[in-house]
């Protein structure tokens, strides 16, 4: 079944189109008949780099493509949010937000939005789900090998990673805060419940 209503059919481009991510945005490959649905802060730059090096033609689409297989990368919501809020504050040079301001809103942009938000209009029964954990690179490598693609996943390098600048410091600040203040963990668990429900309900490709 499709996830939630297909809002893009009414011409709605989503809450974050002004930031460069239109609702329904994805990448298609007609050779293998696959659609990659890119969710911000779920290794999107890394995966797009791998796919573009696979051979064949990957093309960008601003609405979900009707394909028999959707490649979907999911990530621990709290870990993803810590990376996302660091990205948000870094992009906006807004380093003085109080904890109250942050946890009253939680979602500020596409990097801190729910993962399920970006899956509107996608038939999840066709999803090939890969989770971002210690087996992530191995599972991506095996998935690529299962297709007709030609690429060396081992030499692909992540782009736009937090470790290269102040984002790592901000991310670690929030990870430390969550350890000290469990109440904020509960706030995030409640906010991202739809993501946790999805993560706990799907089957994953490879070792999980």
Q: Report the number of distinct structural domains present in the chain.
A: 1
Among the ranges given (45-49, 68-72, 79-83, 151-155), the one the predictor scored with the smallest mean pLDDT = 151-155
204 occurs within a structural domain: no
Calculate what percentage of the chain has a pLDDT beyond 90: 65
Q: What does the pLDDT read at residue 50?
A: 87
147 occurs within a structural domain: yes
Assign residue 96 a region (left: φ > 0; alpha: ψ between -120 and 50; beta: otherwise): alpha
Summarize the confidence of residues 2-22 as an average pLDDT: 67
- In three-state form (DSSP H/G/I as H, E/B as E, the rest C), the secondary structure along the chain is CEECCCHHHHCCCCCCHHHCCCCCCEEEECCCCEEEECCCCCCHHHHHHHHHCCCCCEEEECCCCCCCEEEEEECCHHHHHHHHHHHHHHHHCCCCCCHHHHHHHCCCCCCCCCCHHHHECCEHHHEEEEECCCCHHHHHHHHHHCCCCCCCHHHCCCCCCHHHCHHHHHHHHHHHHHHHCHHHHHHHHHHCHHHHHHHCCCCECCCC
Q: What does the pLDDT read at residue 172?
A: 95
φ, ψ dihedrals at 189, nearest 5°: -60, -40
Condensed to tens digits (0 to 9), the pLDDT of residues 64-103 reads: 899 999 999 999 999 999 999 999 999 999 899 999 999 9
Tokens of 178: 């969550």
2 occurs within a structural domain: no
Q: What does the pLDDT read at residue 12?
A: 62
22 occurs within a structural domain: yes
208 occurs within a structural domain: no
205 occurs within a structural domain: no
Domain of 115? 7-199
1 occurs within a structural domain: no
| Confidence category of residue 11, pLDDT binned at 50, 70, 90 | low
Condensed to tens digits (0 to 9), the pLDDT of residues 166-182 reads: 899 999 999 999 999 99
pLDDT reading at 45 higher than 60: yes
Neighbours of 143 (CB within 10 A): 18
Summarize the confidence of residues 138-143 as an average pLDDT: 92
The tokens 């954990």 sit on which residue? 133
């Amino acid at each position: 079944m499709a996830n939630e209503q297909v809002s893009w059919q009414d011409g709605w481009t989503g809450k974050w189109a002004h930031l460069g991510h239109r609702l329904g945005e994805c990448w298609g490959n007609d050779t293998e008949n696959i659609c990659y649905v890119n969710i911000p802060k779920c290794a999107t730059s890394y995966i797009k780099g791998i796919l573009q090096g696979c051979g064949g033609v990957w093309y960008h689409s601003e609405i979900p493509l009707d394909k028999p297989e959707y490649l979907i990368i999911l990530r621990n919501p709290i870990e993803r949010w810590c990376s996302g809020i660091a990205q948000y504050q870094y992009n906006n040079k807004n380093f003085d937000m109080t904890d109250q301001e942050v946890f009253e809103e939680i979602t500020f942009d596409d990097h801190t939005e729910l993962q399920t938000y970006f899956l509107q209009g996608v038939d999840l029964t066709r999803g090939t789900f890969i989770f971002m954990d210690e087996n992530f690179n191995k599972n991506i490598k095996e998935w690529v090998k299962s297709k007709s693609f030609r690429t060396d996943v081992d030499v692909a390098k992540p782009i736009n990673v937090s470790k290269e600048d102040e984002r790592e410091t901000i991310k670690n600040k929030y990870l430390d805060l969550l350890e000290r203040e469990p109440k904020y963990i509960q706030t995030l668990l409640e906010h991202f419940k739809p993501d946790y429900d999805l993560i706990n309900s799907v089957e994953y490709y490879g070792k999980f």
